[in-house]
Amino acid sequence: MSYDLMVFDADTAPRDREAFMEWYAQQTQWGEGHSYEDASVTTPRLRAWYEAMKAVWFPMNGPDAIFNELPDDSPLWDDDHVTGYTIGRASIYCDFRWSKAEEARSAVVTLAKKHEVGFFDVSEDQGIIAFPGDNFT
């Protein structure tokens, strides 16, 4: 299992929790008909968030994956910052190693606030759903 978080386009996602959860379920069907590894499909704010995240939380797959050009003996093969990103038009779903949950959440929240995107803690029961301007950590 992984520690999962999501950031989203605040102008697209509903603010009501029940409606948001329905929207989330639709987003995670991955039925938009594009590669979910390509940041060019998402909004400018989400893309800026992703660009900042991938500098430390390395993409596991896709065109930005660190593994594409690593030598076999690179220590990055075992780095705990390797992250799975599933990139949609209005959301980016991230899966982290549980050993890095606290550090990952801090980075995701900090950058969500900076880039004015929403945040959803997928891994928590009744996880926080936060929009830009909300007070959350």
Asked whether residue 60 carries a pLDDT value surpassing 90, the answer given is no
> What is the total count of domains within the chain?
1
Residue 74 belongs to a domain: no
What mean pLDDT is predicted for residues 33-47?
97
Residue 133 belongs to a domain: no
What is the pLDDT confidence band of residue 34, given thresholds at 50, 70 and 90? Answer: very high
Residue 32 belongs to a domain: yes
Please give the model's pTM, rounded to 2 decimal places: 0.93
Q: What's the confidence (pLDDT) of residue 80? A: 87
Rounded CA-CA distance 131/74 in Å is: 39
Residue 17 belongs to a domain: yes
The two structure tokens encoding residue 45: 């704010």
Residue 135 belongs to a domain: no
Range of the domain at 98: 3-68+80-127
Nearest CA to 91 among 119, 123, 62?
119
Asked whether residue 77 carries a pLDDT value surpassing 80, the answer given is no
Residue 137 belongs to a domain: no
Contact 42, 114 (CB under 8 A): no
CA distances from 97 to 102, 121, 127 (A): 10, 14, 18
Asked whether residue 137 carries a pLDDT value surpassing 90, the answer given is no
pLDDT digits (tens, 9 = 90+) for 90-119: 999 999 999 999 999 999 999 999 999 999
Residue 120 belongs to a domain: yes
Q: What's the confidence (pLDDT) of residue 52? A: 98
Q: Based on the number of CB atoms within 10 Å of its own CB, is 93 exposed (0-12), middle (13-18) or buried (19 or more)?
A: buried
Contact 125, 22 (CB under 8 A): no
Asked whether residue 85 carries a pLDDT value surpassing 90, the answer given is yes
Residue, of 101 and 77, whose pLDDT is higher: 101
Contact 24, 120 (CB under 8 A): yes
Asked whether residue 68 carries a pLDDT value surpassing 80, the answer given is no
The two structure tokens encoding residue 119: 């945040």
Nearest CA to 91 among 134, 3, 31?
31
Residue 62 belongs to a domain: yes
